[in-house]
Amino acid sequence: MVLEVAPSGACWVSLTVDGTLVLSRVMQPEERVTRRIREGALVQVGDAGAFAFTLNGRAARPLGAPGEVKSVRITPDNYQAFLR
């Protein structure tokens, strides 16, 4: 799977891919981070309403409301549940 993170507003993001922490900081709306996932990704966000991402090039649904803190695990078995 390919995960691309592209927040629509300033948003704290922590991303652990296949057991390795690859990102833990505030991302700005003009930033993009792309990672290939084999086993799974733990995505933690400080503003679910500002967090936007794609999976395999397809837009994913919002993880929650503005200001909401969320944590989700995305795997090859469940990734389709996150798609729009």
Q: Which residue has the tokens 């389709």?
A: 80
Contact 53, 11 (CB under 8 A): no
Give the pLDDT means over successive 10-residue stretches in the chain (84 positions).
Answer: 95 96 95 96 96 95 94 95 93
Q: How many domains does the chain have?
A: 1
Q: Provide the domain limits for residue 39.
A: 2-82
Q: What is the pTM of this model?
A: 0.90
Query: Residues 66, 16, 54, CA angle at the centre, nearest 5°?
Result: 55
Residues with Cβ within 8 Å of 47's Cβ and at least 6 positions away in sequence, in order, are 7, 9, 10, 11, 12, 66, 67, 68, 69
CA–CA gap between residue 29 and residue 84 (Å, rounded): 20
